[in-house]
Amino acid sequence: MKNFLKIPALILAALLGGAALAGCDSLLPNPIGGEHVHKDYNDDGLCDDCEESVRAELTFLAVNDLHGKFMDTDEQKGLDEFTTYLKNLYADPAREEILLSSGDMWQGTVESSSTKGALMTEWMNEAGFVSMTLGNHEFDWGPDILQPNSELAEFPFLGINVTYNGEMPDYCKASTVVEKGGAKIGIIGAIGDCLSSISGEFQKGLEFATGNLLTAQVEAEAKRLREEEGCDFIVYSIHDGGSGFSSSGVVSVKNSDMTYYDTALSDGYVDLVFEAHTHKGYTLKDEHGVYHMQAQSDNRSVARADVTIDLARGRHTVKTSMVSSGTYAASSIEGDPSVGEIFGKYFPDENPYEKIVGVNASYRDSEVVEEKVAELYFEKGTETWGEYDIVLAGGFLRTRTPYDLAAGKVTYAALFSILPFDNAIVLGKINGYYLKKNFIDTTNDDYHVCTKKGFSSGSINNSQTYYIVVDTYTAYYKWNNITEVKRLDNKTYARDLLAAFINEAGWA
């Protein structure tokens, strides 16, 4: 298989088709310098001349939205068992594996977020990823962090539609080509229409092409990969997906069911789609017979597609299966030591899972945590900027997996998981009209506010300027019309205020 001669599948199919019709091998030309071209007229999977296999047996494994879930905790499985699962698959010579990610890998836990993705990237090298499509949360520390991580990564970051000041940045590529089992696989990556979910502070200069422009980009790249690079199979890895799907089996969908995907791409451009971003688990089959898979999030499952590519006939079959962590991280499976070693390298002295900040006397749900953060913003703000008449604090505050705070001893790592974002705390000014519209009268359930004692919203004057305390995510959301006046620092975040509060026995 190693010496298999690559010629584009379409040309090969045409050549074989012509020869098969004529029923005569001698009609099959030797297109390049007399090298051997496999042919399989009796369709037994072996070359009629050299008897080597003409079928590539590949297993695609796709991970999405891992959100930094690296170490074992009470809430989730760590990556040690998953690493064992991968290494066992790699050791089996029957198939060749291709492991890829569709984004949102770094943001979410203390070990991954506080290393700004470096620890996770190092694990991805160890695990053998061939590519990672950029997700919106890869931009949570601004575009500056992408370059050093792309240098650390032994695989490319993909984002065909990402531009910074009008150009594709150095840290990403449109696609990559992988050769396995005698086949050439093209992988195209794209980010979805999620620029607005990135903190406004970091959106400047950044653009993600969408709609017809994105479709044209992917079509052109798929064509180039097939015709110029000789790819036999094209995978599309997108950081976007359906939110209305959730299934264990295969669900047939219509074009109109997939607002985030242009089904024209399934008409000869891409052969298999791996999705992300909505954290749903599903396998869809679109009107062209192309499969779309998304594997939930947070190390809960991995999307698997076993693909047989008939290299002599330019066709393929796809068999999908969703593998849950209950299988790949079953208690009988021993974890791979590399995961603990990478953790130890980044946290040689203080383990954030052992660092207890205090005690929480009872279970607090996400709402209680979010309201408390708004209160702590108010306290911190009035204590820091006492010279300003601060009338309100809070803003967009939403906890992340596992969302709530369990009763008992609280680790810094646990607070980090529910409040992972590095959004600095700022004093902002806003006029009365927007204060009322976006904070007091908002219908957005993710907005939580704490107001000054005795402050009455009825007394707000539309054209007057008011001072409020929010974080940079809320301050730089452009529709809020807030101007940053002062910044606390770039190292104290919501989780730190909550850690101090719990440390002072606030919830004991």
Nearer to Zn ion, 102 or 472 (CB): 102
Instruction: List b or e across 242-254, with b for residues whose CB sees 16 or more CB atoms inside 10 angstroms.
Output: beebeeeebeebe
DSSP label at residue 480: G
Smallest gap from Cβ 238 to Zn ion, in A, equals 11
Nearer to Zn ion, 53 or 237 (CB): 237
In the chain, the amino acid numbered 412 is Y
Rounded alpha-carbon distances, angstroms, from residue 462 to 166, 433, 457, 475: 38, 4, 11, 19
Span of 36-44, 63-71, 74-82, 458-466 interacting with Zn ion by CB under 5 A: 63-71
Nearer to Zn ion, 65 or 496 (CB): 65
Q: Is residue 104 near Zn ion by the rule CB under 5 A?
A: yes
Closest CA to 101 of 70, 128, 119: 128
Span of 206-214, 217-225, 275-283, 351-359 interacting with Zn ion by CB under 5 A: 275-283
Closest CA to 99 of 119, 126, 77: 126
Nearer to Zn ion, 135 or 143 (CB): 135
Smallest gap from Cβ 420 to Zn ion, in A, equals 11
Nearer to Zn ion, 194 or 425 (CB): 194
In the chain, the amino acid numbered 377 is Y
Q: Is residue 65 near Zn ion by the rule CB under 5 A?
A: yes
Strands (E), 346-446: 356-360, 390-396, 408-411, 425-431
Distance CA 230, CA 486 (A): 56
Q: Is residue 292 near Zn ion by the rule CB under 5 A?
A: no
Q: Which two tokens stand for residue 303?
A: 């999307």
Span of 100-108, 422-430, 455-463, 500-508 interacting with Zn ion by CB under 5 A: 100-108
Nearer to Zn ion, 104 or 496 (CB): 104
In the chain, the amino acid numbered 415 is L
Nearer to Zn ion, 78 or 108 (CB): 108
Distance CA 323, CA 97 (A): 15
Smallest gap from Cβ 67 to Zn ion, in A, equals 6
Closest CA to 221 of 180, 177, 183, 184: 177
Smallest gap from Cβ 268 to Zn ion, in A, equals 29
Distance CA 268, CA 314 (A): 12
- Candidate list 55, 173, 184, 277; residue touching Zn ion; CB under 5 A: 277
Number of residues near Zn ion (by CB under 5 A): 5
- Contact code string over 221-260 relative to Zn ion, x by CB under 5 A: ----------------------------------------
Q: Is residue 275 near Zn ion by the rule CB under 5 A?
A: no
Which secondary-structure segment (H or E) carries 450? strand 447-451
Q: Kindly write down the DSSP assignment for every residue of 301-315, as one continuous string.
A: EEEEEEEEEETTTTE
Nearer to Zn ion, 301 or 438 (CB): 301
Site for Zn ion in 114-143 (CB under 5 A): 135-136
Distance CA 293, CA 62 (A): 8
Span of 60-68, 146-154, 218-226, 348-356 interacting with Zn ion by CB under 5 A: 60-68
Q: What's the full length of the chain, in residues?
A: 508
- Contact code string over 419-458 relative to Zn ion, x by CB under 5 A: ----------------------------------------
Catalog residues that contact Zn ion under the rule CB under 5 A. 65, 104, 135-136, 277
